[in-house]
Amino acid sequence: MQGAMIKSIFCCLLVTACAFAQNPQSASYKGTTSLIALERMWNEAQVSRDATAIAGMIGDKFINTEYDGEVSNRGRFLADFADPKFKPSLMNIQNIEVAMYPSTAIVTGNYHTKGLYGGKPYEHFGRFTDTWVFQDGKWLCVASHSSLMKK
């Protein structure tokens, strides 16, 4: 009977240990792939000018710094999508890297964007840095910064 009790206790301990054991690499990988997918959805939303989609991806205290130094808060950033002069046709990102922290991630990469602004064509190549926090069960971007490599 003691042998059965010891086996039961051992099994319970083993199951408990397995339940609490986490593989940091797989958790990190899941976060990385989720964030890259969010970045790509963000680009699609920009091209289609879907402010509602973007609003669901950014935090209440979101700050954006554009390549020209202009800084905008969440409200201003979302209002820019309603500007009829802004007509993006391409937003592409590559060379994406994600640095994961317990509840924060920094996503960096290159971007290529083009379209029309006020009827005049533009095309930019640059770098971006987005800061994401895991809050209320989802990732939210709280800060975004871009800088030009060339026009």
What pLDDT does residue 80 have? 87
* Dihedral sign for Cα atoms in the order 121, 83, 47, 140: positive
Find the mean pLDDT for residues 107-124: 96
Amino acid at the residue 40 = R
DSSP line for 115-129: EEETTEEEEEEEEEE
Amino acid at the residue 118 = G
pLDDT beyond 60 at 137 = yes
pTM: 0.79
Amino acid at the residue 125 = F
Per CATH, the number for 24-150 is 3.10.450.50
Q: Are 74 and 59 in contact (CB under 8 A)?
A: yes
Beta strand 71-73 with 58-65 is: antiparallel
Average pLDDT along the chain: 83
Q: Are 127 and 149 in contact (CB under 8 A)?
A: yes
Position 18 confidence tier, pLDDT thresholds 50, 70, 90 = very low
Gap between the Cα atoms of 96 and 11, Å rounded:
43
What pLDDT does residue 151 have? 55
